Structure formats: structure tokens, C-alpha cells
Amino acid sequence: MSITEHTVKTDRHTSFYLAAGPENGPLIIFVHGWPELSISWRHQLPALAALGFCAIAPDMRGYGRSSVYSRHGDYAQELIVRDMIELLDSTGRQKAIWVGHDWGSPVVWNVASHHPDRCEAVASLCVPYYTIDRGLDHTLTLIDRNLYPENEFPYGQWEYMRLYEEAFAEAIAPMDASPRKFLKLAFRKGDPSGEGKRAVTSMARKGRGMLGSAQFPDLPRDGDVVSEEDLSIYASALERNGFFGPSSWYLNHKTNEAYGAKAVNGGNLDMPVLFIAALYDYVCESVHSRLGEPMRAHCRNLKEEIIKAGHWVAQEKPLEVNAALVKWLATSVRNLWPRPA
């Protein structure tokens, strides 16, 4: 199944996106996170297209071939959601199924909670609803304080987010200096031995670096997550655009909190919802912690799956992710299942 390239331009924003599948098939939009690209969904697009879905994945604001902006405030969730609604409008559709991962998850959660009339169903990988989409201060209330004592780790596994706020230029400088080296360190499969232990990001402020240190070892590429071609595409995009835009997504927590408070229906989601937890994702740890509790309280038609993988679950375990998505679509969203011509 071929993947094609497209661009949508409006008066306010340009979105590049990949597409696969029949144009008249049920629309499913995949939204990537930090520091990724539309190709993060390279395993999902052809699989869903082969079933008859029209599957698309944009480069998000600040990434790849989409618009890049120079102010931190240009990366607030409300603006990013507008990008996605404009992308949806460009397809001529009223609604889509939305799938997000990492920072793409708050985007699809916000589409669902602010624009339920544009959302058939919503799925998220790793990041539960009613967490970072409601701002960092709210998310801090869900930290496992047995694992992260407040006197030692006041921001728990989210210490890196505070580092961005306190020393943004310092935080992104080593990543900008060597995107390829950083990506080889970041794009690694899950490690079962880390279960029950603190996430490396909890050392970010102490080590003055996103992953606990400002110095990155030059590790070999993890072929279970990215190929050499994939890595080169990611690295070249970040070498061209830099980390300012992608990392500015972390500097709008108060603005995002205010936006989240404007959600309709009391923030409750009535459409079908799927949450896929990655068991070995120790930053977004939601299997043993309270991180998923608000989601379970606010989603009235929720299915959950657990996959034994790390944070880059869609790239590390694509067959398992695709199977979970297809099972959910065929059961909870079956009214949209593609019909034979």
C-alpha cells in the first residue's frame, strides 16, 4: 500500500502530511509527539489503509515540513488543535478517528474534549486523558510519591519539564548540537529491568539535561525501533528546524491548563476511547500509578490495552499496536468499519 505526500495551506498555517488508503474510506488521523515526525506512524498507515481506512499523519507544528514558529507561545495546544481542525476541514469530512502518541495525545484529547462534533473516536498511546492536556500542575498531583519523594523529586518523572521552563536554552543546546546522537540515545526499546524504578527524566534538573545528563554517549542505533533510513529522516528534519519549536510545546502549561478548563461536556468523553499503555514506559507510567485515574473517571466508553514495550511503542511493537487498534475499531467503532464496494 503506497504512502503519498500532501500539503495543506491556510492563511495561518501549513501542514505537511502523509496519506494512505482510499480517499473515501473512514478517516483516521495519526498525531505524533516529541521529537518525531509523520513517519512515526509508518507501520500504522499502510496497515489501516489495507483494511480500507483513509489514514493520514501530519508533521506537527514546529516539525518537518510543516510551519515553524519563533515564539514559545506559538506552540500552545489551542493553536495546534486549530491546525488539526483545519487539516480535517481540508479533507471535506466532518469527523475523524483520532490517534495520538506522546505530545500528540494531548492534541487528540483536546480535539475530543473541545470539538466532540469533529471526533468519531479517539485513541492514545502512552499518555492518558486528563493529564498533561490539563497542564503540568495538575499532572504533578498524580505522581507516585513512594517512588518519587517530594523532598527529593518535587516534580517526579516530570523534572525535565521544569528544566525546560527554568533553563530552556541550556536544555536544548546539546540536542541542537547533535540531533543524530541524541536520537540514537532516545529511540530505544523498552527495558523490562526498569520496571518499578525511577525514570531517567527524574534526574533532569540535577543532571541539567533532558535524559539526566547534558552529555550524550554515542550509542549504536537501536534497530528494533528505527532503521538507518528512519534515523536519517528524523535527524535531518531536526538539523534543519532545530529543537526550539518541538521543545516549546513544553512551555505553555498555564495556557494549556486554561484551555483545558474550557472543554465541553464537563470534560467527559462519550465517544469510543482506546488507551494503549506501554508497560516499560517509565515516564508515562500508568499501569501501576494513579496517572490513568482521571481518564477512567472522564471516559464513558473506554477500552484499555497494555503492550510490553517502551515509550516508542508504535515503532517498537507495530504488530501489537496495529492489532490493538484494529480490534478496537472492529468492536467499539464497528459502525465505521470499511464496507466492501
Residue 100, C-alpha cell as written in the block:
495520538
**Under a CB-based contact definition with an 8 Å cutoff, are residues 108 and 99 in contact?**
yes
Residue 108, C-alpha cell as written in the block:
487528540
Query: Is the pLDDT assigned to residue 211 strictly greater than 90?
Result: no
Q: What is the mean pLDDT of residues 154-169?
A: 96
Query: Is the pLDDT assigned to residue 175 strictly greater than 80?
Result: yes
pLDDT tens profile 145-155: 999 999 999 99
Q: What is the pLDDT of residue 88?
A: 98
How far, in Å, CA of 313 to CA of 41, rounded?
A: 11
**Under a CB-based contact definition with an 8 Å cutoff, are residues 19 and 3 in contact?**
yes
Whole-prediction pTM value?
A: 0.98
Q: Where are the domains of the chain?
A: 4-336
Residue with cell 530505544: 188
Q: Is 102 a catalytic residue?
A: yes
Strands 273-278 and 119-125 turn out to be parallel
Q: What is the pLDDT of residue 212?
A: 76
Q: What is the mean pLDDT of residues 302-309?
A: 98
Q: Which of 102, 222, 230, 281 is catalytic?
A: 102
Q: Which of 115, 253, 298, 311 is catalytic?
A: 311
Q: What is the mean pLDDT of residues 123-144?
A: 97
Query: Is the pLDDT assigned to residue 75 strictly greater than 90?
Result: yes
Evaluate the omega torsion of the peptide bond into residue 116 and state whether it is cis, within 30 degrees of 0: no
Cα-based torsion angle of the residue sequence 217, 41, 239, 202 in order, rounded to the nearest 10 degrees: -40
Q: What is the pLDDT of residue 341?
A: 64
Query: Is the pLDDT assigned to residue 215 strictly greater than 90?
Result: no
Q: What is the pLDDT of residue 320?
A: 98
Residue 149 burial (CB count, 10 A): 11
How far, in Å, CA of 259 to CA of 80, rounded?
A: 12
Helix (H) or strand (E) holding 275: strand 273-278
pLDDT tens profile 262-277: 999 999 999 999 999 9
Fold of 4-336: Rossmann fold (3.40.50)
pLDDT class of 340 with cuts at 50, 70, 90: confident
First to last CA, the chain: 18
How far, in Å, CA of 71 to CA of 66, rounded?
A: 16
Q: Is 114 a catalytic residue?
A: no
pLDDT tens profile 78-87: 999 999 999 9
Q: Which of 91-100, 199-208, 267-276 shows the lowest per-residue confidence on average (mean pLDDT)? A: 199-208
The percent of residues above 90 in pLDDT, for the chain, comes to: 96
